[in-house]
Amino acid sequence: MKKINWNHMSELGLIERINREILHPLGLAICRQVESGVSEKILVADDGVFEYGPEINSKPLTYEQVQKKLMEFENEK
């Protein structure tokens, strides 16, 4: 079984998608340490609201794009 870290999850656009579609409406957000690729916690908004700024507007990767990136991650080792 392969493993990826939270930096890879971010490169795949999955942290943004999970945040935007699931967690932000609940006042929660995944955060990670870029240096280590580790996520130790979920942030809880004081006012119950999280949202990305307008400059963060990416489109989800296709299945094929995700598979290609996963292969690239494996080749990094």
What DSSP line would sit under 39-61, residue for residue? Answer: ---EEE-TTS-----TT----PP
| Cβ(57)–Cβ(13) below 8 Å | no
What confidence score (pLDDT) does residue 34 get?
94
Examine residue 53 and state whether it is found in any structural domain, yes or no.
Answer: yes
**What is the reported pLDDT for 77?**
64
Q: Mapping DSSP to helix (H, G, I), strand (E, B) and coil, where does residue 12 land?
A: coil
Cα end-to-end span (Å), the chain: 15
User: Is residue 20 one of the residues assigned to a domain?
Assistant: yes
Q: How many structural domains are present in the chain?
A: 1
Its domain, for residue 45, covers: 6-76
User: If we measure between CA atoms, which residue out of 41, 42, 46 comes closest to residue 23?
Assistant: 42
The tens-digit pLDDT sequence of the chain (77 residues) is 888 999 999 999 999 999 999 999 999 999 999 999 999 999 999 999 888 888 877 788 899 999 999 999 988 76
User: Is 69 within a domain?
Assistant: yes
Q: Please, which residues have CB within 8 angstroms of residue 65's CB and are 6 or more apart in sequence?
A: none
1 found inside a domain: no
In a domain, 31, yes or no: yes
